[in-house]
C-alpha cells in the first residue's frame, strides 16, 4: 500500500512517501480503502518524539495518522454492523497502531461509524479526532446540558470549531475566544459572543460560565476559577502535572461538595458510539466540518508545517486516493 512513514524522529523532512506492507486483519476489525486522513497536532508531536504518551507509539517504520474516511473492503469474523461497501469514518489512537496516512487502514470496528449522507470523504476525515475530543470534553467530562454557558478557548481551531457547534447544538450559550480575523467564522459556527484575545483578556471579562473548555492548554483551573460558576467545570486537552493534580484534588472535594469547581483533562478515546452522536448532529445540519486546506498525501510534510504554525482555521486534510 502507499503510505507516508518515517524511520527516525525529527522535523517534517523525515516523512517519506512510498510502499509499506498492508496490515493484517483481526477478527474484531474492518479493512478500509482509505480515501482521506487529517493532520492533528499530536501527529507532529509524535513525529518529533515529543508526544506526552510517546511510549504508546508503534516502532519504526512509523505510519502516522489518527483519522480515516473510506470504504469498507473486508470485515473480521467477529464484526457486526458493517459490511463491504459501507462508507465509514473513525480514528485510531497510538495504542491502536495509528497508521492512517496510507491507502489501506485496518481499525477496530468499534472505532468506526457510518459517514452521514452527503458528506464527502475529505470532509469526513476532518471529523473524528477533533469532534470526539470536543464531544467527550463537553458531554462526558463536563456534563453538558441545555442552558449551560460555555467558554471555548481556541474556538477557531480544529477542536474548538467543533466544540462551539456541539455546545450550541446541545442548547448551550457559547462564547468563543480567538483572534480578530476569526471572529466572523466563530460567530457563524454558533457563538453568541466572541472575545478577541488580542484586545481583551477573557479572564477579566464579565462573563461567568458553567464550562470553560481550554483547547490550547495555556491556562488552568486556578486561573479560570473566577469566571466559572459554582459546580462548573474547567476542561483542558493538555495532561500537564498541574492539570492532573487539580483533577485528582477536585474529584476528591466534589465527593463532599457538589458545588466545588471541577478540573478535567480530556484524552480522546476512539469510540464509534460517540462518533454516531456527532454524525447524528451532522446529518441534521447542526455540526459541519471546517476545512482549512487539502493536501495530497505526498505533501504531508507541508501539511505538518502548516499545522505546526498554529495558523490553520479548522482542519487540514490529506487526500489519499
Return per-residue pLDDT of the chain as tens, 321 residues.
999 999 999 999 999 999 999 999 999 999 999 999 999 999 999 999 999 899 999 999 999 999 999 999 999 999 999 999 999 999 999 999 999 999 999 999 999 999 999 999 999 999 999 999 999 999 999 999 999 999 999 999 999 999 999 999 999 999 999 999 999 999 999 999 999 999 999 999 889 999 999 999 999 999 999 999 999 999 999 999 999 999 999 999 989 998 999 999 999 999 999 999 999 999 999 999 999 999 999 999 999 999 999 888 889 999 998
- Please count the structural domains in the chain: 2
Residue 310 has what pLDDT? 84
Tell me, yes or no, whether 141 and 114 share the same domain: no
What pLDDT sits at residue 124? 98
136: in domain: yes
Task: For residue 168, give the CATH number of its domain.
Answer: 3.40.50.720
Q: Is the peptide bond before 61 cis (omega within 30 degrees of 0)?
A: yes
Q: Residues 106-115, buried b or exposed e (16+ Cβ, 10 A)?
A: bbbbbbbbbb
What does residue 155 show for φ and ψ, rounded to 5 degrees?
-70, -15
Confirm whether 274 is domain-assigned: no
Is 314 found in the same domain as 199? no
Same domain, 300 and 237: no
Answer yes or no: is 283 within a domain: no
Residues 66 and 176 placed together within one structural domain of the fold: no
DSSP H stretches of helix in 68-127: 121-124
Which residue range forms the structural domain that includes residue 149?
A: 130-265
Inside any domain, residue 270: no
In angstroms, how far is CA 94 from the centroid of its own chain?
A: 14
User: In this structure, what C-alpha cell is assigned to residue 181?
Assistant: 480575523
Same domain (yes/no): 165, 254: yes
Contact 99, 93 (CB under 8 A): no
- Are 247 and 200 contained in the same domain? yes
pTM summary value? 0.97
Residues 73, 189, single domain; the answer is no
CATH number, residue 31:
3.90.180.10
Q: How far apart are CA 46 and CA 64, in angstroms?
A: 8
Q: Are residues 121 and 157 in the same domain?
A: no
Q: What is the pLDDT of residue 311?
A: 85
Same domain, 121 and 150: no
Does residue 142 sit in the same domain as residue 118? no
End-to-end CA separation in angstroms for the chain? 11
For residue 206, the model assigns a pLDDT of: 87
Torsion from C-alpha of 12, 18, 19, 23, nearest 10 degrees: 30
Which residue, 7, 61, 72, is CA-closest to 34? 72
In a domain, 271, yes or no: no
- Please indicate, yes or no, whether residues 137 and 261 belong to a single structural domain of this protein: yes
* Whole-number Å distance between alpha carbons of 1 and 20: 6
CA-based nearest residue to 126, from 245, 295, 305, 262: 295
Asked if 141 and 252 sit in the same domain, the reply is yes
What proportions of the chain, in percent to the nearest 5, are helix, strand and coil?
35, 30, 40
Helix (H) or strand (E) holding 18: strand 16-19
Amino acid at each position: 500500500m502507499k503510505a507516508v512513514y518515517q524511520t527516525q524522529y525529527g522535523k517534517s523532512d523525515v516523512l517519506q512517501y512510498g510502499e509499506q506492507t498492508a496490515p493484517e486483519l483481526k477478527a474484531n476489525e474492518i479493512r478500509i480503502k482509505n480515501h482521506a486522513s487529517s493532520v492533528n497536532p499530536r501527529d507532529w508531536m509524535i513525529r518529533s518524539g515529543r508526544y506526552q504518551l510517546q511510549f504508546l507509539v508503534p516502532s519504526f517504520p512509523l505510519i502516522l495518522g489518527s483519522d480515516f474516511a473510506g470504504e469498507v473492503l473486508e470485515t473480521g469474523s467477529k464484526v457486526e454492523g458493517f459490511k463491504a461497501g459501507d462508507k465509514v469514518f473513525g480514528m485510531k489512537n497510538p495504542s491502536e497502531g495509528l497508521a492512517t496516512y496510507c491507502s489501506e487502514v485496518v481499525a477496530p470496528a468499534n472505532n468506526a461509524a457510518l459517514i452521514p449522507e452527503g458528506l464527502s470523504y475529505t470532509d469526513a476525515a476532518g471529523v473524528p479526532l477533533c469532534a470526539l475530543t470536543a464531544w467527550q470534553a463537553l458531554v462526558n467530562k463536563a456534563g453538558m446540558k441545555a442552558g449551560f454557558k460555555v467558554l471555548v478557548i481556541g474556538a477557531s481551531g480544529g477542536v474548538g470549531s467543533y466544540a462551539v457547534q456541539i455546545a450550541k447544538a446541545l442548547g448551550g450559550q457559547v462564547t468563543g475566544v480567538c483572534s480578530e480575523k476569526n471572529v466572523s467564522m466563530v460567530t457563524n459556527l454558533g457563538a453568541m459572543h466572541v472575545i478577541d484575545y488580542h484586545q481583551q483578556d477573557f479572564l477579566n471579562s464579565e462573563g461567568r460560565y458553567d464550562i470553560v473548555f481550554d483547547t490550547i492548554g495555556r491556562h488552568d483551573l486556578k486561573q479560570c476559577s473566577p469566571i466559572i460558576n459554582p459546580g462548573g467545570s474547567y476542561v483542558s486537552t493538555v495532561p500537564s502535572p498541574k492539570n492532573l493534580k487539580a483533577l485528582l484534588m477536585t474529584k476528591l472535594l466534589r465527593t463532599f461538595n457538589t458545588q466545588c469547581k471541577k478540573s478535567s483533562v480530556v484524552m480522546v478515546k476512539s469510540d464509534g458510539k460517540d462518533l454516531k452522536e456527532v454524525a447524528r448532529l451532522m446529518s441534521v445540519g447542526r455540526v459541519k466540518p471546517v476545512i482549512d486546506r487539502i493536501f495530497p498525501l505526498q505533501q504531508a510534510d507541508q501539511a505538518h508545517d502548516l499545522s505546526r504554525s498554529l495558523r490553520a482555521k479548522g482542519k487540514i486534510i490529506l487526500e489519499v486516493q
